[in-house]
Amino acid sequence: MSVLSKLFGDVLGFKIQTANCYELHHTWNPSCNGAIRDAMWDGFSFSFRTYATLYIIAAFLSKRDIRKIDWVTTFKDTFRSTVFLMTNLAAYMWFMCRLRRLLGFSILPTMGLINGLLASWLAILVESPKRRPLLSLYLTNLASETAYRQLANHGYVRLLSNGQVILFGIGLSGLLYLFRRKQLGRNLSSLLSFALCLDNANEELVNVERLRAVRNGYVQRLLRWVLFMRTMRVKHHLCTHTHSCVSKSVEGSHCLLNRLLGKDTPQTQMLCGGFSGLAMLFYPNVSIAMYILWKFIEAFYFALVSEGYARTIPYGDILLYTLSTGYVLWSVTIEPHAIRKGYWDFLSKLTGGKVALLNRRLYDVYGYRSSTLFPDFAPELNQKFISINPEA
């Protein structure tokens, strides 16, 4: 240990943490294996309920008849996804403890990063290949947001007021440009067309009979306003939709550009997306904005691949999930206040609240203000299992 500590501390410049993994990490149980079992007990039931609900709803929407659902396949998918999540959780904790025992001390990369990368790599191999791209995209989305928050926390950048408008506008602009050039995948193209009513088949946005059945006064007024705006028969000869230009933000800006420029090109569709990003001012949602942005980046990459300007990366979804999730889990450990609240709540339910029981007071020496969310937390440790460490 002395040789390694001198190598990492004196030569490489890492700050050495000599507290054991019970004092540092799993403060609820002095046994490494016991702590993992405790976390998995809560995690398995939560994961199974979550995935069962997800797969049953997906199967019902697909079949439209509960009697036609393939319950065996649904159970298998649920169980496999549950095992995937449990593998990520258990391996994360196991590797963290193994690294501490192997080195005899902890350094910043072994307190969430290295073990997070190893655990995420093992876990994604368990999950169904058809779900890997979706998972990798979601975690990349989350990792990029977390990285920006960390940079803001340390003063390298500043948080922009209504920054989600910019992100949403860029993402939507890019998607509309690719849509117009017919470079989107069929599923994404259909989804975008349906969501934004980009074809006349989806022009029926508000059904009058259903409108009369709405009892909520605010919703009814809103729908009546939308119906009124859609029935104003004013449009340019280049516009293809049935109803008013001002009835839809994307088509409204599209019509304006048609009038001003007298031509309709993919570039004008791109500008429409930028204008429509202003919709985020009325319904601010960073998660949606980031998702749209990364969906555009993904679609743009595949468009480059299809045109021969880029190559597909073998096992790219596995690599992306591993790097993104490893980084996010490291941030959860050392800088939880940089994590999106929704994801923190998810991890709290997954671990039965144990993600908040890490002794982050001992992490503060690394300069990440790790205990910011838990200033008064002091674990009650069993004196039989603590090391000689005055900070514990």
Tally of CB atoms within 10 A around 265: 12
For residue range 249-290, what is the model confidence (pLDDT) as tens digits?
556 666 666 666 666 666 666 666 666 667 667 667 788 788
DSSP 196: H
Tell me the longest C-alpha to C-alpha distance in the chain. Answer: 82
DSSP 28: T
Ramachandran quadrant class, 311 (left: phi over 0; alpha: psi -120 to 50; beta: rest): beta
C-alpha angle 351/382/41, rounded to 5°? 20
* DSSP alpha helix (H) spans, the chain: 2-6, 21-24, 32-63, 71-103, 113-126, 132-153, 163-180, 186-196, 208-213, 217-230, 249-261, 266-276, 286-306, 316-334, 341-350
Tally of CB atoms within 10 A around 218: 8
Distance CA 133, CA 318 (A): 8
3-state secondary structure of 136: helix
Residues of the chain with pLDDT under 70: 1, 187, 190-277, 279-280, 282-283, 388-392
Q: What is the DSSP string of 255-283?
A: HHHHHHHS---HHHHHHHHHHHGGGGGTS
Q: Read off the tokens for 36.
A: 């993992």
Query: At which residue do the structure tokens 């049935």 appear?
Result: 242
- How does 48-83 read in b/e, with b if 16+ C-beta sit within 10 Å? bebbbeebbeebeeeeeeeeebeeeebeebbeebbb
Annotate 302-356 with three-state secondary structure.
HHHHHCCCCCCCCCHHHHHHHHHHHHHHHHHHHCHHHCCHHHHHHHHHHCCCHHH
Confidence (pLDDT) at 205? 44
CB 25, CB 96: distance < 8 Å: yes
Confidence (pLDDT) at 245? 45
**Backbone angles phi and psi of 17, in degrees to 5:** -115, 115
Distance CA 264, CA 261 (A): 8
Contacts (Cβ under 8 Å, ≥6 apart) of 196: 248, 250, 251
Checking 342-351 for CB contacts under 8 A at 24+ apart, the result is: 342/287, 343/142, 349/46, 350/42, 350/43, 350/46, 350/47, 350/85, 350/89, 351/39, 351/42, 351/43, 351/89
Confidence (pLDDT) at 214? 42
Confidence (pLDDT) at 8? 82
Confidence (pLDDT) at 169? 82
Q: What is the DSSP string of 41-69?
A: HHHHHHHHHHHHHHHHHHHHHHHSSGGG-
CB 148, CB 290: distance < 8 Å: no
Confidence (pLDDT) at 178? 84
CA distances, 311 to each of 186, 297, 314, 316 (Å):
20, 15, 9, 11
